[in-house]
Structure 1
Amino acid sequence: MDSKASSLLFIAFLCLISTSTAFNITRILAQYPEFASFNDLLSQSGLAQEMNSRQTITVLALDNGSIDGLSGRPLDIAKRILSAHVILDYYDQIKLSKLQKASTIVTTLYQASGVAEERQGFLNISRTAEGIKFGSAMKGAPLSASLVKSVYSQPYNISVLQVSEPIETPGIENMAPPPPPGTAAVPKKTPAPAPSTKTPPAAPPTAKTPAKSPAKSPSKAPAPSKEGPSTPPAPSEGPSTPTEAPAEGPVADEAPAVAPAKAASSRMHVAGATVVIGLFACIMGF
């Protein structure tokens, strides 16, 4: 019982590994030296890792002589072109020979990238008098690549088919790289500051209103000046109070002068009274 249980666990483990990594495109192509340049370009661009994460694909491979034109291009452009050579379905020579339609549209890995425009992410597989041909599903694109042979197949996970030349996809080389996810929310946020910049212009009206209030205050200032002349007593009273104030000053100064005058007169009265009394006393004595 223990041996059976352990064997079942081992089989389950193998099944788990096989489902998680159905194939390795780098190891498969390493067996064929004529596809060494194609294999290297898949690894350098990171496309091999994306292909290995899939469960079912068909690779339209290019030999060393056919891929020379892609080797000199920028790596991101080469990746776009090669991703259009990976069909997200299983096709081998048998399945291709049994196609019912003259033309079949299939989906590629480039379509799954989310940056394809119009029908750039689709391929057209056509049965012609010259054999099976491949071309872009874009309008007016030529069927330039021909099926050469089957290189490798692992039904129904991966099939590697050799094609005669790269598949031309109109516009794929002129596309700008997709922006990172953070830059599509920054452009929408950019208009938001615009209202904030417009709010400062609203402030000048408020600044002008205080400017008008001071303008009115000076206009009111002359009003009292008009009332001044209309009420002349106010200015007359003004001088009256100052005249009284100085009047007290001189009075205080004259007080000592008045005091001696009164003292002199009183002395004169006393002297006169004394003289009168003296005369009266003399008269009474006689």
Structure 2
Amino acid sequence: MAPIASFAAAVLLLLALASPAATFNITRILGEFPDFSTFNGLLSQTKLADEINRRQTITVLAVNNGGMGAITSLPSDIQRKVLAVHVVLDYYDAEKLGSMKNRSAVLTTLFQSTGQATNRMGFINYTRRAADGVMMFGSAEPGAPLTSQMVKPVMSRPYNISVLEVSSAIVPPSIGSVDNSRARAPAPALTKIPAPAPAPSKSKKPKTEGAPTPAPAPSDDDSSTNAPADADGPDADGPATDGPDADGPAADAPADDDDDKSSDDTGDAAGRVVARASLGIVALLVILVSL
């Protein structure tokens, strides 16, 4: 019988060693304290209590009902993150915190293990003030103040679980922007399209580089000077003083002349050509007769 008893004892010892070292239920523990009913209810509602119960070593910074307004006013997905900041992944009771030589420490929280924490949001700063020995807690995010102080120890089971009451919720300042920055990239800035340049007026032709500048339009008082010379006059064989050459392009004609004026100019030029041809024929006949 002795060997059988020894074997049974060995099996029980192996089972004890193989079983989890910590077996606790945070919901049941906090359920014994009505002052933490709101905090305890949110742990169950966000399913964070299940994660706490799977841990072997844990410290919960519990907030009483009077200080839960800063958490209950947040959206449900943010509530879970803030509650996870109140769960430290190590065992700390009042005696251990008070015996720290440097009177300060950086504590790792359950939120840090989710992979969603940035900019030290998953850590807590702890400091014991030298003047009065008050233990202060606050987010380790840069610029966050130490505003929550330890009120009293609630329960402890060394070295598995410790529950400490703190005066106010610890909310990292930028914890609400974690999902927004990861869920979608910022919208691209709208590019201002410059207004198109105004189209050139059809009434004005663009000035061609190198082209001569049009002569000013003739006035009523100076019609005798700019009028074309008579074909039968003494200067009929030469070009008019200010008018265009009959054989050349009408480069100086105003751009906006109407069709009737163009027709008159064409007729005058044709008349001068006929007159010159007639004079040439007469001269040729005179020469032939004289021979």
Q: Same fold (TM over 0.5)?
A: yes
Shift of 1:47: 0.8
- Residue 158 in structure 1 maps to residue 137 in structure 2: no
Contact map agreement 2:20 2:56 (CA 8 A) in 1? no
Shift of 1:98: 0.4
Are the structure 2 counterparts of residues 10 and 31 from structure 1 closer, same or farther at C-alpha, using a change threshold of 3 Å? farther
The share of aligned pairs that are identical, in percent, is 44
SS at match of 2:177: coil
Residue in structure 2 matched with residue 67 of structure 1 by the alignment: 68
Quick one: which amino acid aligns to residue 127 of structure 1?
A: R
Contact map agreement 1:141 1:168 (CA 8 A) in 2? no
Distance (whole Å) between structure 2 residues aligned to residue 27 and residue 179 of structure 1: 36
Distance (whole Å) between structure 1 residues aligned to residue 14 and residue 32 of structure 2: 29
Residue in structure 1 matched with residue 11 of structure 2 by the alignment: 9
Distance (whole Å) between structure 2 residues aligned to residue 105 and residue 69 of structure 1: 23
Q: TM-score, normalised by structure 1?
A: 0.58
Larger Rg: 1
SS at match of 2:121: coil
- Of residues 113-122 and 9-18 in structure 1, the stretch that sits farther from structure 2 once superposed is 9-18
Shift of 1:175: 2.1
Structure 2: stretches of 5+ with no match in the other structure? 185-291
SS at match of 1:175: helix
- Residue 138 in structure 1 maps to residue 161 in structure 2: no
Shift of 1:52: 1.4
Matches within 5 A, 1:1-286: 1=2, 2-19=4-21, 21-128=22-129, 129-130=131-132, 131-176=134-179
SS at match of 1:149: strand
Distance (whole Å) between structure 2 residues aligned to residue 63 and residue 7 of structure 1: 46
Deviation by residue 1:173-204 (Cα, 9 ceiling, x = unmatched): 22216979xx9xxxxxxxxxxxxxxxxxxxxx
Shift of 1:160: 0.5
Shift of 1:105: 0.8
Shift of 1:103: 2.2
Distance (whole Å) between structure 2 residues aligned to residue 177 and residue 26 of structure 1: 31
Quick one: which amino acid aligns to residue 6 of structure 1?
A: A
Structure with more helix by fraction: 1
Deviation by residue 1:20-71 (Cα, 9 ceiling, x = unmatched): x532211211221211111110011011111112111111001111113322
SS at match of 2:65: coil
Are the structure 2 counterparts of residues 41 and 125 from structure 1 closer, same or farther at C-alpha, using a change threshold of 3 Å? same
Are the structure 2 counterparts of residues 12 and 32 from structure 1 closer, same or farther at C-alpha, using a change threshold of 3 Å? farther
Quick one: which amino acid aligns to residue 155 of structure 2?
A: Y
Distance (whole Å) between structure 2 residues aligned to residue 145 and residue 79 of structure 1: 19
Distance (whole Å) between structure 1 residues aligned to residue 66 and residue 5 of structure 2: 54
Distance (whole Å) between structure 1 residues aligned to residue 17 and residue 37 of structure 2: 30
Structure 1: stretches of 5+ with no match in the other structure? 184-286
Contact map agreement 1:115 1:178 (CA 8 A) in 2? no
Shift of 1:72: 3.5
Quick one: which amino acid aligns to residue 172 of structure 2?
A: T
Distance (whole Å) between structure 2 residues aligned to residue 100 and residue 138 of structure 1: 23
Distance (whole Å) between structure 1 residues aligned to residue 52 and residue 61 of structure 2: 12
Quick one: which amino acid aligns to residue 111 of structure 1?
A: Q
Deviation by residue 1:124-180 (Cα, 9 ceiling, x = unmatched): 000113400000111111101000111111111111000000013110022216979
Aligned residues: 181
Deviation by residue 1:186-226 (Cα, 9 ceiling, x = unmatched): xxxxxxxxxxxxxxxxxxxxxxxxxxxxxxxxxxxxxxxxx
